[in-house]
Structure 1
Amino acid sequence: MTQRRFTRISRRQMVRGLMATTAFGVVTKFGTACSPAPEGDATTDEAATGDAGGEELVVGFIYVGPKDDFGYNQAHAEGAAAMVANVPGIKLVEEASVPETTAVAETMRSMIEIDGAKVLFPTSFGYFDPYILELAAEFPEVQFFHAGGLYQDGVHPDNVGSYFGYIDEAQYVAGVVAGHMTQSGKLGFVAAKPIPQVLRNINAFTLGAKSVKPEITTQVIFTGDWAEPVKEAEATNSMADQGIDVVTCHVDSPKVVMETAERRGIYSSGYHANQGPLAPEGYLTGAEWDWSSIYSQLGEQFKAGQTLMAGDIPHILRGGLGGKFCKLSPYGPAVTDEAKAAADAAREQLIAGELVIYKGELKDNGGNVILTSDQEYKQDDIELEKMDYLIEGVEGSIDG
Structure 2
Amino acid sequence: MSYVAAKGGAQAIHAAHQMVAERNAANPDDLQAQIARHLHLSIDRIMAEASLYDRDIAAKALLQAQGDSIEAVFIVRAYRATLSRFLDSLPLNLGQAHLQRHISAAFKDVPGGQQLGATYDYSHRLLGYFQNLPAQEEAEAASATSGIPPKATLNKTSVMELLETEGLIEKSSTEAADAENRDITQIPPGFPASRAQRLQTLARADEGFVLGMAYSTQRGYGQNHPFIAELSHGSVNVEICPPELGFSLCIGSIEMTECQMINQFQGDSPDTATFTRGYGLVFGHNERKAIAMALLDRALRAQELGEKVDALAQDEEFVLSHCDNVEATGFVEHLKLPHHVDFQSEISTLRALRAQSPGTTVKHDDAL
Same fold per superposition (TM over 0.5): no
Q: Calculate the TM-score normalised by the size of structure 2.
A: 0.23
Q: TM-score, normalised by structure 1?
A: 0.21
Find the structure with the greater CA-based Rg: 2
Structure with greater strand share of residues: 1
Identify which of structures 1 and 2 has the higher relative contact order when contacts are C-alpha pairs closer than 8 Å and 6+ apart.
Answer: 2
